[in-house]
Amino acid sequence: MITPRYRHHFHLLPPAGWLNDPNGSCWWGDRCHIFFQYAPDSPHGSGSKCWGHYTSRDLIRWDYEGIAVAPDSPYDCSGAYSGTAYTGSGSLELFYTGNVKHPGNYDYINEGRGHNVLYLKSADGLSFSPKEVLLTNEDYPAAMSCHVRDPKVWQADGCCYLLLGARTRDSQAALLLYRSSDRKHWTLARDIRPEAPFGYMLECPDYFSCGESEVLAFCPQGIPQGTEKFQNIYSSGYLILPEGALTDAPSDTLNKCLLPDRFQEWDQGFDFYAPQTFSLPDGRRVLIGWAGVPDAPYDNLPAVAEGWQHSLTLLRELTVTPDRILQYPIRELEALRQAPVSCPLEKQTVLTPGFSFDLELERRTALAQQAFTLRFSSDLVLTFAEGMLSLRFLNNTGRGRTIRHGVCPQVRELRILMDASLLEIYVNRGALVFTTRWYPENARGVLLASDGGFTGTLWPMADSIRCDAPLPHNG
């Protein structure tokens, strides 16, 4: 047994094995439900995926509830892949992709794979009905490849909608929108093809309305990487569209709106993908994402050595403005703060009491456009100059992570949440966010130093996760 040094204290993570996309995220009944893609037997993600399950009544303390959806039918025998929750009927209803890889000499892109939409429901949020098959490959347009997945379901104006990410047989990105009156029988309403090149696949779609706007989010694959945008191998972001654009506007109008230069990324860091959004009982819209990226050219071997890999981000409250969406940790997180520690970085370096903390920094308005460097020990630096914020690793504590940039006219304040080996940095109350894994080797804490005139407060953080599953063993 290896003593886990890098396991998180207030981010949701697998009891053991592998985690990726959040699934079925919702508030239903008297609690929040966060399901997730889970391979419990291997930190490398091998084996068929199932759905793990966390719940919370207060968004502070989280209980692991075990495996909710297993790949135990002919229609999901190769994995219970990503999906959504619908809570408007009195039951908790789940829709997900059942993955089937047929034996044979197939490419599993255009041939040899079944991607089915499966349905099940629960009266208590813990036990579920038998599975029903709603859509199979035969229900998708003939131009689609075998990559059609990740249903998002919602209701608007008395009609239910189901949105799927897709890849055409000639490797063009697409979305498929279905309509239904009963959430069981679905009719194709739109085959959405962006007019501008948007990679070869749009996966993990999401949708929500906000006043006179609506937000369409997805994860494009196959877009060339850039130095300021699309820096990761796969991206994750959103488009702010006029009200009714997705469901009611003419198809050519919608297709013209789907432009990469209008696409805004959720996070500029190394480790963010496949987010889901949902509403809390008080009306707040919140987001949670996977603190990882598929097929990344960097690794998490220190965590793998402890028998686990990957986690989810914090829940982030969303504020939609005319030109962007602000993201900020939900206010409930402050209940985990312990006794505050002054952090006068404008005068001295500060050694943090451990590796689990919430740090708020600010500087005078007159300094907001002034360049600065913020050092995290000798491992990592956050620099700002000429309207560009950059996060750079200086050694291999980033496990192959190098540098990421974000356009930012000024920096007035920072909020930095460190959780053993996961760092979330919120700039100007969430106008820009960086999420990254980091494996510091110093056993004492993080030595913070800056020339930016920052001062603030640091709070060590309490644990928030209750899990009766066995601790991970060396993987």
Given a contact cutoff of 8 angstroms between Cβ atoms, the answer to whether 97 and 69 are in contact is no
Tokens, residue 140? 């998708």
Pairing type for strands 132-135 and 144-156 reads unpaired
Given a contact cutoff of 8 angstroms between Cβ atoms, the answer to whether 164 and 149 are in contact is yes
> Cα–Cα distance between 445 and 461 in angstroms, integer?
13
The string of pLDDT tens digits covering residues 5-27 is 999 999 999 999 999 999 999 99
Given a contact cutoff of 8 angstroms between Cβ atoms, the answer to whether 128 and 121 are in contact is yes
Per-residue pLDDT of the chain (475 residues; tens, 9 = 90+): 456 899 999 999 999 999 999 999 999 999 999 999 999 999 999 988 999 999 999 999 999 999 999 999 999 999 999 999 999 999 999 999 999 999 999 999 999 999 999 999 999 999 999 999 999 999 999 999 999 999 999 999 899 999 999 999 999 999 999 999 999 999 999 999 998 899 999 999 999 998 788 999 999 999 999 999 999 999 999 999 988 899 988 877 788 789 999 999 999 999 999 999 999 999 999 999 999 999 999 999 999 999 999 999 999 999 999 899 999 999 999 999 999 999 999 889 999 999 999 999 999 999 999 999 999 999 999 999 999 999 999 999 999 999 999 999 999 999 999 999 999 999 999 999 999 999 999 878 999 999 999 999 999 999 999 886 554 444 3
Given a contact cutoff of 8 angstroms between Cβ atoms, the answer to whether 409 and 387 are in contact is yes
Q: Could you give phi then psi for residue 396, rounded to 5 degrees?
A: -85, 10
Given a contact cutoff of 8 angstroms between Cβ atoms, the answer to whether 55 and 30 are in contact is no
> Cα–Cα distance between 176 and 189 in angstroms, integer?
8
> Cα–Cα distance between 427 and 209 in angstroms, integer?
25
Q: Could you give phi then psi for residue 366, rounded to 5 degrees?
A: -65, -20
Architecture of domain 17-329: 5 Propeller (2.115)
User: Which residues, in sequence order, are CB contacts of 403 under 8 Å at separation 6+?
Assistant: 390, 391, 392, 393
- Burial degree of 74 (CB within 10 A; 0-12, 13-18, 19+): exposed
Of 192, 259, 262, 268, nearest to 230 by C-alpha is 268
The string of pLDDT tens digits covering residues 141-155 is 999 999 999 999 999
Domain edges within the chain: 17-329, 337-465
> Cα–Cα distance between 335 and 292 in angstroms, integer?
26
Q: Residue 469 has what DSSP assignment?
A: S
CA separation (Å) from 361 to 268, 388, 434? 20, 18, 16
Residue with tokens 């404008």: 346
- Active-site residue numbers? 21
Partnered with residue 165 across adjacent β-strands are 149, 175
> Which of the four CATH numbers 3.10.20.30, 2.60.120.560, 3.40.640.10, 1.10.357.10 does domain 337-465 have?
2.60.120.560
How many Cβ atoms from other residues are within 10 Å of residue 409's Cβ? 12
> Cα–Cα distance between 467 and 65 in angstroms, integer?
8
pLDDT of residue 1: 46
